[in-house]
Structure 1
Amino acid sequence: MLSYRRNFIDGRRQTPLGRLRVEVRSPYDDAWLGQAPLASPADIELAVQAARQALQRRSWSGATHQARLAILERFWSLYRAQVDELVLLSVRQTAVPVTAARDLMAQVLEAGEARLAQARRAVGGPRADQRQSAGIVAAITAWNATQPSAVSWLLPSLLAGCSMILALPPACPLDGQWLGELLAEAGLPDGVFNIVVADDAACLGMAAHSEIDWLAFSGPAELAADLARARAATGKSLVLGLHGRATGILLPDADLGAVISALGPRLFLASGQGPSNPSRLLAPRHRQAELVEALSSLARTLPVGDPRDARTVIGPLISESARMRAASLLDEAAAAGAEIVVRGDDASPRQGAVMGPTLVANVSPTMTLVHSEPWAPVATVIPYGDLDEAIAIANALPGRPSAAVWSEEPSIALAVATRLRAAHVALNPKALVADLAAVAREREEPFSYLQVLTCSES
């Protein structure tokens, strides 16, 4: 097990200035997994000053793009060698089923490789020496996708020459700790990369810190609004990577067999706690019953149990409070007229904070269940009348990170897709899953600026 008694600040482990610690236990069997110090305001300040001094020394921000890339290539090799252990730690820490954890890690590696390949192409290019570091980046990672969000912020910010503070969530503070030692072993100068475990109060403190040049946040939208308000007071930059369910739209002629095949076990990716679950579905009213029947059959076949078992699709939620919150949202939806066709929090004896696959039909787009993420294995079916109504509903849903459209007529599917306000839209996908490589491409150069030098003639 892992016991971290010190923060990683200024290139080494340092005794925390605060007294609080977080203990990590498995959501499945309550086994003790480790502990880590919870950052106090003084710890945050120490990390900020270490990052600022590293910038002033210019050992990293002043290095060439090629030199920075060489160190990050070494780090990436070290990181890749640890992925199996990181996956197993993630499974114990979050209770995400091991198959889903491996799938997410494969996407982390794909996205990271794409980012480094883009950086290799830039070596020696005309823009390489014109790009200047944007300063200190504080990156707040998501509890439901710690490694994907950490790597998606780490690579672009360090490649840009920034100093960085990585804020890990108290629910999952262990696996991200490895990044500090790996970067130090790769040759990253002291102070460039720092790690703290930050609760909501600490995150808001970083958002309000005037010496942090960029605040990057990955995770649920609930905290984002408060971060944005705190950040606005500083006049400094904020980058949001909000997690939310993906939206699937079945057009009237959609091949239902192809839709069910595409969704498959990914309908409840990571026990419904994945960063972009394809579990929000819009269907024509006259086909809702058909879709619900097929989804019910699928939901009842998904194995529930030990997340370490490769056969398990649904494991426990991150905590008992998370399970109770999801159950409350279901009760509220049922009271408002939704039909709970399959309910996974029944009286079946299960270990841990488990909610089995749950399917809700006749869902109104105004229900709290739609606008407040359940972060549980809950699929919702929202009926619609015509395509204009479907598009209007989809565009009013919160988050809209990605979407899929199914139709036997490609031109109609494309016409609908072009009217959706979603970051990524898949047409008749064979599998619907978070596209972390596409997300990484969106974050290619957020933490640098192009310096244009001009001189006037006298």
Structure 2
Amino acid sequence: MSTLTQEHTDLFIGGAWQPSSDRALTQVICPATEEPFGAAPTGTSVDVDRAVDAARHALRTTPWADSTAEQRAQWMRALADELEARGDETARVVTNENGMPISLARVAEGKGPAATLRYYADLAEGTPTEERRSANLPGRTTVVRRDPVGVVALVVPWNFPQSLTMFKLAPALAAGCTVVIKPAPETALDAFALAAAAEACGFPPGVINVITGGRDVGAYLVAHPLVNKVAFTGSTAAGRAIGEVCGRLLRPVTLELGGKSAAIVLDDADLVETVRGLAWVSLLNNGQTCYLNSRILAPRTRYDEVVDAVADLARSFRAGDPLDPATRVGPLVTQQQRERVEGFIAAGRAEGGRIVAGGGRPKDMDRGWYIEPTVLADLLPSATPVKEEIFGPVLTVQPYDDIDHAIKLANDSEYGLGGTVWTTDVDRGLDVARRVETGSIGVNFFDLDLGAPFGGVKASGLGRELGPEGLDAYITLKSIYLRATDQGGQA
């Protein structure tokens, strides 16, 4: 695998490239080569102040402050076109940053953000800024106004950095907000690609700002007194900390957090079709996807059959160079992440689990943070790999006795983000899906719908992204009461 070194010394603040107040750079390590791929500014609280000030200024001044939804939609579509034109190169950057297979990166990171922008551009144009309602008292009218919430801090993770940035950025722009984007240190470089695209298409200065840095920079941004809202995707532990800060500050927050989703295989399921679908919903992005169905629940009468089929699936995913379009499993994002996943596999062994596929590092890969897709069977519901989010290519298979037992196992989790039901009877699958405690669930497939809300329940988060509900998260509502007889009070 060859890598291109990318070094950025400046941050994107106020529509211009500005040096960080700390001239030190933080290396970005390619997980496939274990060598530096690039470097980004370390960032400081002073840089956060400058970025938030720029966003605040843009929020209150022309051309953004008095822009119409139609004007914002034009800027958003121009940004979508620019991102799409740069999509292949952005995908290569993301693959070098986090090990995402290039075939996935070209779709999710190269094309997906543009589609999200265009969806919210259309939605902005179709959503009125004001509406008049007849009040419940005679002779009164209420004007209900939708205003932007203000300056928004977007704190995004490393696993799908461009897509998950856009889940937040697109509705924020559609609403008329301004933003400060803080990417994960592991994937800082692709955020500058987004900034360059915004600059190239003539986005108003200060509307989109990009700063980089570690947890201290993120924490300072989240608590900044001039930030009006926070949108975060990441671990549940970090989400709890951010939620506590925002709760104390009475600051709106959207939290898309961890998951430990279940795939419920019903007794009538077509196993060939089920396994084909599980390849996407259980091992996507090297197992580093929040909604993945890492718990496979199988009827006890078909348990051995399902275990064998899932094991065969895992063995068919051979690790390789993530820049090779044929590769389906790349490396994990960091050495620390691989060691964490290995710890879960060791815990599974110690707690009585049977490893039926994988379980170690690929023998033919002498460098890179790779781990074999692994399947654990025969674990108790209380076992560590069953209960905790692993965020790697590790699946567990558990037996259930009947539908009620399956739903009990599916709901026996602190998380509730995704899930699937596999059956040849769609109505039966829909009945089961309704009973699972989760924010989203698919029958015989799982794929996010830009037009429908996505988010979790329980420890999987607060609020929703995507769909009209995703736009509502960046709106503040104001009611203006009028007497119909007053000047200007007529509809």
1:95-174 correspondence to structure 2 within 5 Å: 95-105=99-109, 106-122=111-127, 130-174=145-189
- Paired residues, what number? 456
- Partner of 1:72 in structure 2? 76
User: Which aligned runs of 4 or more in structure 1 are off by greater than 6 angstroms?
Assistant: none
Distance in 2 separating the partners of 1:103 and 1:187: 25
CA, structure 1 residues 70+244, in 2 after alignment: closer, same or farther (shift >3 Å)? Answer: same
- Partner of 1:455 in structure 2? 482
- Partner of 2:374 in structure 1? 358
Alignment root-mean-square deviation, CA: 2.3
Distance in 1 separating the partners of 2:278 and 2:169: 31
SS in structure 2 at match of 1:421:
coil
Query: Where does structure 2 lack aligned partners over 5 or more consecutive residues?
Result: 133-142, 455-465, 487-491
CA, structure 1 residues 223+25, in 2 after alignment: closer, same or farther (shift >3 Å)? Answer: same
Shift of residue 5, structure 1, vs aligned partner: 0.6
- Partner of 1:316 in structure 2? 331
- Partner of 1:271 in structure 2? 286
Check whether the contact 1:363–1:383 (CA below 8 A) recurs between aligned residues: no
1:243-258 correspondence to structure 2 within 5 Å: 243-258=258-273
- Partner of 1:402 in structure 2? 418
Check whether the contact 1:276–1:433 (CA below 8 A) recurs between aligned residues: no
Shift of residue 367, structure 1, vs aligned partner: 2.7
1:317-332 correspondence to structure 2 within 5 Å: 317-332=332-347
2:99 counterpart of 1:84? no
Check whether the contact 1:403–1:426 (CA below 8 A) recurs between aligned residues: yes
Residue deviations 1:189-213, cap 9 Å, x none?
2222111113222222222223211
Shift of residue 412, structure 1, vs aligned partner: 2.4
Shift of residue 172, structure 1, vs aligned partner: 0.7
CA, structure 1 residues 346+150, in 2 after alignment: closer, same or farther (shift >3 Å)? Answer: closer
- Partner of 1:232 in structure 2? 247
- Partner of 2:6 in structure 1? 2
Worse-matched range after superposition: 34-43 or 435-444: 435-444
Shift of residue 346, structure 1, vs aligned partner: 4.4
2:458 counterpart of 1:420? no
2:470 counterpart of 1:443? yes
Check whether the contact 1:204–1:226 (CA below 8 A) recurs between aligned residues: no
CA, structure 1 residues 392+151, in 2 after alignment: closer, same or farther (shift >3 Å)? Answer: same
> Percent same amino acid among aligned pairs?
28
2:206 counterpart of 1:191? yes
Counterpart amino acid of residue 226 in structure 2: E
Worse-matched range after superposition: 196-205 or 341-350: 341-350
Distance in 2 separating the partners of 1:149 and 1:248: 23
2:398 counterpart of 1:386? no
- Partner of 2:46 in structure 1? 42
Say which of 380, 385, 396 aligns to 1:369: 385
Counterpart amino acid of residue 72 in structure 1: M
Distance in 2 separating the partners of 1:28 and 1:2: 16
Shift of residue 238, structure 1, vs aligned partner: 0.8
Shift of residue 187, structure 1, vs aligned partner: 2.6
Distance in 1 separating the partners of 2:294 and 2:382: 17
Check whether the contact 1:18–1:42 (CA below 8 A) recurs between aligned residues: no
Check whether the contact 1:139–1:164 (CA below 8 A) recurs between aligned residues: yes
Shift of residue 119, structure 1, vs aligned partner: 2.6
- Partner of 2:220 in structure 1? 205
CA, structure 1 residues 379+218, in 2 after alignment: closer, same or farther (shift >3 Å)? Answer: same
Distance in 2 separating the partners of 1:344 and 1:205: 40
Distance in 2 separating the partners of 1:301 and 1:54: 51
Say which of 196, 215, 224 aligns to 2:230: 215
Worse-matched range after superposition: 161-170 or 434-443: 434-443
Counterpart amino acid of residue 473 in structure 2: P
Worse-matched range after superposition: 127-136 or 406-415: 127-136
Shift of residue 125, structure 1, vs aligned partner: 8.7
The normalised TM-score by structure 1 is 0.93
Residue deviations 1:384-412, cap 9 Å, x none?
22222221222232432222111233332
Distance in 2 separating the partners of 1:249 and 1:194: 43
- Partner of 1:301 in structure 2? 316
Query: Where does structure 1 lack aligned partners over 5 or more consecutive residues?
Result: none
Distance in 1 separating the partners of 2:451 and 2:331: 27
Counterpart amino acid of residue 126 in structure 2: R
Shift of residue 12, structure 1, vs aligned partner: 0.7
Check whether the contact 1:208–1:233 (CA below 8 A) recurs between aligned residues: no
CA, structure 1 residues 281+437, in 2 after alignment: closer, same or farther (shift >3 Å)? Answer: farther
